[in-house]
Every structure is written in structure tokens, then in C-alpha cells.
Amino acid sequence: MARLSRRIEGIHTSPIRRVAALLDEARERVDIISFGGGAPSLPPPQGFLHEFSRLLEAEALRTVAYTGTRGIPALREAISADLKKYGRVDFDPASEIIVTTGATESISSSLMCLIDPGDEVIITDPTYLGYKEMIELAQGRAKTISVDVENGYQPSDEQLKKAVSKKTKAMVLLSPDNPTGRIINESFVRTLVDLAKDFDFWIISDEAYKHIVYEGEHVWVSRLRGAKEHTITVCSFSKEAGIPGLRLGYTLAPKRVIESIEKMQQYSTLAPNSIGQFALVRFLNQNMKEQYVRESVMKYIKRRDFMGEMLRSHLPLARTITPAGAYYYFVDIRQYLTKLHQTEEEFSQNLLRSTSVAVIPGRFFGENGRGHIRMTFVTEPERRIRLGIERMEQFLGRSS
Amino acid sequence: MARLSRRIEGIHTSPIRRVAALLDEARERVDIISFGGGAPSLPPPQGFLHEFSRLLEAEALRTVAYTGTRGIPALREAISADLKKYGRVDFDPASEIIVTTGATESISSSLMCLIDPGDEVIITDPTYLGYKEMIELAQGRAKTISVDVENGYQPSDEQLKKAVSKKTKAMVLLSPDNPTGRIINESFVRTLVDLAKDFDFWIISDEAYKHIVYEGEHVWVSRLRGAKEHTITVCSFSKEAGIPGLRLGYTLAPKRVIESIEKMQQYSTLAPNSIGQFALVRFLNQNMKEQYVRESVMKYIKRRDFMGEMLRSHLPLARTITPAGAYYYFVDIRQYLTKLHQTEEEFSQNLLRSTSVAVIPGRFFGENGRGHIRMTFVTEPERRIRLGIERMEQFLGRSS
């Protein structure tokens, strides 16, 4: 068979997607308690769903026609108004907003537009596992800042200053963070903005979880003084509208960057999904979002607190922080693993096999994730969270 | 502002998308007769549209949830059965099919998986205008084979043999072709397959228009002896299901290539649109496709013949072929342009401005497209095709 590119040989299959495939398989055989996923558990509002049917009935041809690469003007206007309302940030719908095929495309096309071979991009370790591969696909090099449970997964100003150099092209910052649930300290972001100005690099602020906040406040990076023209903001409708499968998100950036991203996306996906865009106009303009977000956060915070309690009482040697946002506990289980003589990856596999409880090995999120597991608290109801953690406790007792 | 990548500086905005934006603007002011578009004009079948509503009502959470990166197994199985039925080709749904965010993603991720810096990719000139930019985004070099109206836009074996070298990594072949409507000679494809084996390169067979055939037969490249393991086939639901805005297509390839494309797409779009995938299962399995394709082709062939007649009687100095497939006449109007002292791009702009008739300048499809225009015949009904071409005739008479 003819050769493939070196580019693709160096890239790894996303372990989360691999686990998802395993889970799909396992689910057909047994009832899995899943602490593994990353999707909302509240279905989208009825009125929003009804809008899809209405559109297809009222104007089928237009609803399924190509839209512009930037997305339909009405949606960009609705996004602009939404950003003003929730974040008091001002983005021009005509020139500073582009709709994307999910936050994944937002990040990957942003990186493709910024990075030349050898450019460095700073990320925390651990953080979202796709960044590193995306940076490498764009021929950049990921430079990591270690964060750990002791400092609440906050990177420090000193670490950042040490990481920045003339080679720095960007920092990708995710807040609220996946997998740690950490909301970034605003003071860190101020230092970041100052350095971005001094060294002339970009901040890619991934705000996919901006509305999934339980404590403190989301940091709207672009709102900080001097930040806007150094910042590319990545947003997603997956979490705030409950439609991860529809693959819709958006990117906010200075005019010239949006123009470049538009060029890139013309040749990668051509345009975002049409029907989802039309329906989202109603979702945003009729203010269905406010209720959906409020109900989601109310439901999730209960599950978060419950899982926290269960972890403390059943797995007392585990260490974690109470996540201020997002969907996950990132749990340091090294004290258990040492006794078991297992890596967290072996542990996760054995746990799934023996007890049908799914968790994600921490190594997937970076070197510093070793000895940790990611546990989603939004998917399962309290009863099954209890059951799952009891099974983990028994498994650990049995094995040690 | 901090610098962007050299990669993106070298890429041009798709002129079709630029024209589409101009048209959107113009359409708000006047009634445009559009020979410019590239979308089906028959809405999707009612039963197919109804399936979207049914899915959202019956199982909302699953319908909008993430699917696997390869797409849902049920859709891949339906695609596999569909290919057997229509093309007598055999692709394993588990390992040789991946669902994509439209044919655009199919092509771009295939190229990213194949091309190393400096690799050459052969395309015809003219052909679909995105290929060249996509090849360059993947750091390859496009090598063109000239085709023209005299030889019915067919490339010759001799041209191909001259173009192939050790640097050849792939040929991208579109049949039926956009913009020329040419269906490739099977004998050419046999030569191509032999060369692909000898020189160990790939054939990317873009079969987006495989069902939009008026004369002769579609060439199922992968069916030819020895072709399958050298061929990546790109397919689209835009034309055969009437849903361009939903951005769904698929790629057929050997197992190892599909694995690579899956890796790539994990980091570019994560997964294809969920609801469209679920609805397509019904579209394919309930055999709505057969009727939709038949009705489309019946409607389009009438419009094709009518536009052909109009061109011959009103623009007798224009030269073209009767398209055997796809949506377009590619018309050589050099005899008119010489008198006008205009390029076809100036002509197209002036025509739109003066008469509200939209056509696409041929230069966009390659160097050999100079002096040509692309005219879509599927969009407008006969009455308006007549009106548009009469206006063109008057405009040419007035100006010369």
C-alpha cells in the first residue's frame, strides 16, 4: 500500500474516543455506570427541539441549504447580543464572529492560522487532551506548565514567565478546565495578557464551559484591559444548548484573524450545519438559554456535591479539589495505586472489567495526570453515583 | 497584532464563496437569476424530513449526543448496503467507511493523511476549485493536466504518463466533473490504476455527483481490477439526499487509511452531525433515495436540455459540451470576450450588475478556465433560464 504522511503517523488516536468505543461495546453487554463521558445530561429545551421540526416544515429547502462559511448573519447577531448580556463583551457580528463545526474546529483552525513550524504553544499539564495533538498537527510544539492538586490546579505567574520566550506563539487556556474543574485566577490571566502584549503572542481562550460554573465567576478573558486584540475565544453550544452531537460552536477574534479562519474553514468543512444554526437563533433570541443553563447547573451542582461526599467517605485516601466548574472530578488515587501496583490506566481497565464502572485514566490529560482518574459527575443520578463509588471501594479493598 | 501563520497567508478565499456572499447581498435588493449556485433544487423527501422531527420527539438526548468519530454503525451499514446495490462495490462498514462533515472534510482530511511537504498531486485544469488550495494547505504541490472543450474535457493517457513521477503522491479525479460536467472515460481510469500500482500513489476519486448522471454511466473507480487498495473514494449526501447544509458525506478507503482519517478528524471536527446521521439511516434503508435521485435527474435533464438549446440559439459563438453529469455547463465565450475586450471575470461582474444574471468566472477553476463561465442549469426553472440567457444575449449585443 502506498505511504501515508509523516504528519499523521505522529498523531495518536484520542484515548477518550478509544474509551468511548470500548464503552459503546461494553454497554451492549452490561449496564455500565459511566463516570467517563463529557456530555450534558439534560436534554435540550422542548421549544428548541420543536424549532427544528417547524423549520423543516415551513421552509425545508432553505433550512438544509449551504450557509455562508461564517454562519448565518442572524445567528452571529444573536451570539453578539448574548455575549453582551452575559459577559458584557462587545463583538461585531459582521467581522469578529465566525460560527464553527464545534469548539474542536474552533481550536484546530485557530491553531492552523497561527502556527508556523517550530512555534511554541503553552498549555497546562494536565488539561484537555486534544490540544497537544492539535498543536503538533499544525507543526507547533506544546510547552507545558505543570499544575497539581496542591495548588488547586492553578498555574503560577512564575511558571508562566519561565515558559514564555521569543518562540511563544500562543497559550491555550481552558477555564473552567477539563479535567480539573479549575476556574483560572483572574490575576494569572492579567499576567498572561501583559506577557502576550510584551512578547506579541496570542491567547486562545477556550471558554466551552463558561456557563457551567458552580463557584466563583467565569473569567471573560477578552474583557480584560488590552486583551481583546491578543485573544481568540473559543465557544461551544455543546454544553450551553445541550447539543454536542450537532457540532456547533463559534470563535471570537480580531477581524483579520476571523478572515483567516474563514479561509481555513472554506477548505476544511465549507460551512457549519445549517439547520442547527437556524434553530439556535430562536434558542438565543427567545431566551431559552437562561433557563436551560440554570436548570443544568442546579442539577449538576447537586451531583457534584454528592459525588464529593461519596469520594470523601468511601475513598478517603483519594485527593482532589471540588470543581468550581465543568463536569469532572480529577482524582489523585496514587495512594491506592501504590498498594495495587497498578498504573491508573490498568486500574481503569480492571475496574471497568470487574465492576462495570467507567472512569478515564489521568495520563490522557498529560504527564502530570499519571496516578489520577477523571470522574464525570453530571451523567449519572445520585443513586448510581453512590453505587459506582461503592463498587470502586469494594474493588480497591478486594485488590489490595 | 501578533503574526499569523505563513500557511494561511498563502491561501486564497474561495471565489465561489466570495460570489455567494455577493449574491446574498444582491439578492436582498433585486431578483437575481442565478446560474451561479451548486446546490440541488429539489427539497429532500417529506419522509426524510419527518424523520428529523420524529427522532427529536422520540429520543432527543440520543439524537443530539456525540457519535463516534467514524459515524454511527447503523449509517455505515446502510452506506455499505447502498454501495452494493448501486455500484456493486463491497466496503466493510466496520473498517472501510468513515462518515465525514461533507465531502469537503473527506477530501481535506484525506490529503492531510497522504501528503508530505513537496509531494505532488495531479489534478485536471479546470476542475473543482478547492483542490489546489487544499493540496497546498497540506504542503503538497498541485500538478495540472490541461483539458479543454475540443477533447470533451477528457484528459489523455499520454498527458497522465507525462505528469506522473516519483514525486506523485496522488491524483484527485472528480467525475462527473465540476465545472465541466464530463464523465471520465473508463479507459483513462484503467491507465490511472495501472500507474498508481506501478508508482505506488493514491487515487482520490471524488464521486460527489455519482448519481447525477444524464448520459453514459458513472465510473465506480474502486470497482476496477486492482484499484481498491489504491483508491480513496469521496462521497457526499449533499446531492443525493438534497441536504448540502447538513454537511454530511463519507470516505471509503483501505482499513489503514480509514484509521488515519479517523485520527485526523478527531482533532478537526471530533464527529459528524448526529441527527443528520440518524435520519439518513431511514433515508437509505427505506429506499427514499431511489425516488429522490430519479426525480432530481428527470427535472435536471429537462433543464439541461433547455439551457443547451437556449445557449445554441442565443449565444451561437459560445462553445461547450453537453454535460453528461453534475449541474453545470462550462461555456467557452472567448469569441464574445475578444470583441468586448473583457476578461470573463469582468464580464461576470458587469453582467450581474447590469442584468442581475449570475454566472461564475471560469478562471476560478484553473488557468484553462480563462475565457469560460460556469452556468448552473439545475437552480432556475425553464422560464427563467430563457430570461437569463436572453438578457445575456442583449448584454453582449449592447456591449459589442
Averaged pLDDT, groups of 10, chain A, 400 residues long: 86 75 69 91 95 95 93 97 98 98 97 96 96 95 96 97 98 98 98 98 98 98 97 97 97 97 95 98 96 97 98 97 98 95 94 94 96 97 97 82
A118 touches chain B (CB under 8 A): no
A26 touches chain B (CB under 8 A): no
> Quick one: which of A180, A204, A128 has its CA closest to A326?
A180
A263 touches chain B (CB under 8 A): yes
User: In B, which residues are within 8 Å of A256 by CB distance?
Assistant: 1, 4
B267 touches chain A (CB under 8 A): yes
B58 touches chain A (CB under 8 A): no
Q: Check residue A27 and give its pLDDT.
A: 66
Q: Which of B3, B43, B112 shows the shortest C-beta gap to A7?
A: B112
Q: CB distance A17–B68 less than 8 Å?
A: yes
Q: Which three cell numbers stand for residue B348?
A: 461576470
Which of B111, B266, B282 is most worth mutating to test chain A (most A CB atoms within 10 A of its CB)?
A: B266
B47 touches chain A (CB under 8 A): no
Q: Check residue A44 and give its pLDDT.
A: 96
Which of A8, A172, A277 is most worth mutating to test chain B (most B CB atoms within 10 A of its CB)?
A: A8
Q: Which of B5, B112, B202 shows the shortest C-beta gap to A113?
A: B5
Q: Check residue A399 and give its pLDDT.
A: 59
Q: How many CB atoms lie within 10 A of CB B90?
A: 12
User: In B, which residues are within 8 Å of A1 by CB distance?
Assistant: 229-230, 254, 256
Q: CB distance B245–A14 less than 8 Å?
A: no
Q: How many CB atoms lie within 10 A of CB A369?
A: 23
3-state secondary structure chain B: CCCCCHHHHCCCCCHHHHHHHHHHHHHHHCCCEECCCCCCCCCCCHHHHHHHHHHHHHCHHHHCCCCCCCCCHHHHHHHHHHHHHHHCCCCCCCCCEEEECHHHHHHHHHHHHHCCCCCEEEEEECCCCHHHHHHHHCCCEEEEEECCHHHCCCCCHHHHHHHCCCCEEEEEEECCCCCCCCCCCHHHHHHHHHHHHHHCCEEEEECCCCCCECCCCCCCHHHCCCCHHHEEEEEEHHHHCCCHHHCCEEEECCHHHHHHHHHHHHCCCCCCCHHHHHHHHHHHHCCHHHHHHHHHHHHHHHHHHHHHHHHHHHCCCCECCCCCECCEEEEECHHHHHHHCCCHHHHHHHHHHHHCEECEEHHHHCHHHCCEEEEECCCCCHHHHHHHHHHHHHHHHHHC
A49 touches chain B (CB under 8 A): yes
Q: How many angstroms away from the CA of B351 is the closest CA of chain A?
A: 23
Q: Which of A14, A69, A112 shows the shortest C-beta gap to B7?
A: A112
A212 within 8 A of A326, measured Cβ to Cβ: yes
Q: Which three cell numbers stand for residue B360?
A: 461564475
At the top level of CATH, the class of A46-288 is alpha beta
Q: Which three cell numbers stand for residue A211?
A: 456557563
Q: CB distance B273–A133 less than 8 Å?
A: no
Q: CB distance A243–B39 less than 8 Å?
A: no
B264 touches chain A (CB under 8 A): yes
Q: CB distance A243–B64 less than 8 Å?
A: yes
Q: CB distance B101–A269 less than 8 Å?
A: yes
Find the Cα–Cα–Cα–Cα dihedral B24, B25, B28, B31, rounded to 10°: -70
Q: Which of B65, B102, B115 shows the shortest C-beta gap to A244?
A: B65
Q: Check residue A112 and give its pLDDT.
A: 96
Q: Check residue A345 and give its pLDDT.
A: 93
Taking all residues of chain B, what is their mean pLDDT, rounded to a whole number?
A: 95
Q: How many angstroms away from the CA of B400 is the closest CA of chain A?
A: 36
Residue ranges, CATH 3.90.1150.10, chain B = 6-44+290-399
Q: CB distance B13–A262 less than 8 Å?
A: yes
Into which CATH architecture does domain B6-44+290-399 fall? Alpha-Beta Complex (3.90)
Question: B-contacting residues of A 163-222, CB under 8 Å?
Answer: 169, 196, 200-202
Q: How many CB atoms lie within 10 A of CB B307?
A: 27
Question: A-contacting residues of B 326-365, CB under 8 Å?
Answer: none
Note the pLDDT tens digit of each residue in B115-167: 999 999 999 999 998 999 999 999 999 999 999 999 999 999 999 999 999 99
Side by side, which strands form the sheet with A97-100? A97-100, A249-252, A231-236, A202-206, A168-174, A120-125, A141-146
Note the pLDDT tens digit of each residue in B337-387: 999 999 999 999 999 989 999 999 999 999 999 999 999 999 999 999 999
Residue ranges, CATH 3.40.640.10, chain A = 46-288
Q: Check residue A24 and give its pLDDT.
A: 67
Q: Which of B5, B53, B134 shows the shortest C-beta gap to A52?
A: B53
B95 touches chain A (CB under 8 A): no
What is the C-alpha to C-alpha distance for residues A123 and B244, in angstroms, rounded to an integer?
37
Chain B: residue whose CA lies nearest to A263: B13
Q: How many angstroms away from the CA of B169 is the closest CA of chain A?
A: 8
pTM metric for this prediction? 0.96
Note the pLDDT tens digit of each residue in B15-34: 777 777 677 666 667 789 99
Q: What percent of chain B has pLDDT over 70?
A: 96
Q: How many angstroms away from the CA of B329 is the closest CA of chain A?
A: 21
